[in-house]
Structure 1
Amino acid sequence: MSDAALQLHGLVKVFHQGERRLEVLRGADLTVHPGEMVALLGPSGAGKSTLLQICGLLEKPDSGELAIAGKEARKLSEAERTALRGRTIGFVYQYHHLLPEFSALENIVMPQLIVGRSKAEAKARAQSLLAEVGLAERASHRPARLSGGEQQRVAIARALANEPALLLADEPTGNLDPGTGGRVFDLLIGMVREKGLAALIATHNPALAERMDRRLRLEDGRIVEG
């Protein structure tokens, strides 16, 4: 495998629904390098979310090769997969998935504690990230007291908490109105560029896709130039 942040080759994923066999991925190939933003397009049901779940080590493919930051991932144990995911991958979903009982700051601290960072270091990094996303004054607010755009900005900060090599985003502005979504995406692009991350972003929005380095489409279980 190369030094790419994400590399997959010949990925196959099949789901069984009763006697029906559904091939979601049929030999998908993809490489994403550090500093590169790639848009993943395709209709609902094409398998974009499944592909992201596999790239994020949350699902296992049935066959094919998968490497994250140069580390072959398919044969890792569950504990090894969890550790690799925590250290190298950040996730941003359509809905923020913040823990409602915790403050914005605490939501960013928690993933850092999981990978072994001290509480003091985690808090300092969380405060720095909240400042970067323009929410330093909202650190003590729980999600219910934040607007949709603010919640998603906290989610972006949380995704970057452990300084990942790879950012995966599934319709990151799909739950926001166009104006708010545009501002959140501006922030996301700026932070990805500044930190030199590799990013794979699934979106239905062609205007957002045009702002990325490459546009790929998932069609009939394969990835093609979009």
Structure 2
Amino acid sequence: MNRQRELIYSQRDKVLDGENVRDSIVGMIKETIEATCKTYLSSDDQHDTWNLDGLRDFFAGWLSKEDDFRYTEQELEDIDRADVVQLLYDRAMEIYDNKEKQYGENIIREVERVVLLKTVDRYWMDHIDNMDELRKGIHLRAYGQKDPVVMYRIEGFDMFDQMIAAIREDTARLMLTVQLRTQEEPKREQIAKPTSTSADGTEAKRPVRKTASQKVGRNDPCPCGSGKKYKKCCGANED
């Protein structure tokens, strides 16, 4: 769980520190397309197993068009899964580039940070709850000669992988479908970590403190950086 927390918070820190996360999101878009095509187009050389209707329906409303993937038998003979991946990726990049031209580079960079942070936080909080439930019930299961602790770790890793895939897909979908009103900039809390100067003159991080207007929700990540929910960490003693 600690390793999982480190991976998630390294991603959050990029956002909180104001880093450019465009490349990360473009990577999520590509990985989502590749994984989805692998699911619906399972074999390169057996086109009769391809579920092109399912692929079109999956991306409907954000990446695919109604007349996509309606290939003739001859056309199918001349393409493979990589061709379909490339078609969808090129279209995604065209949509993405057009949004940047429409809203401006600075606004899109901020949209990327807001979308990624909110998506990561939402899924991470759900994952913490799911891991708690798994831990409580793991000893009630019959695994024969299998160690419940080992099975907890295996299932926990599987759940983490599923969470990462869901974060990638939701982030990709949101960035390709986001619509902003003209001149509207996304609003983001000023949550970049402040620094102070230590005795030796170097900058030292100090805990993030929320003002009343930035009150932390009880189910939000604790601003102290522990990776726990606020209600189970610094907010545990609140009424």
Q: TM-score, normalised by structure 2?
A: 0.27
Q: Which has the larger radius of gyration?
A: 2
Instruction: Identify, as 1 or 2, the structure richer in strand.
Output: 1
Instruction: Identify, as 1 or 2, the structure richer in helix.
Output: 2
Higher relative contact order (CA 8 A, sep 6+): 1
Q: TM-score, normalised by structure 1?
A: 0.28
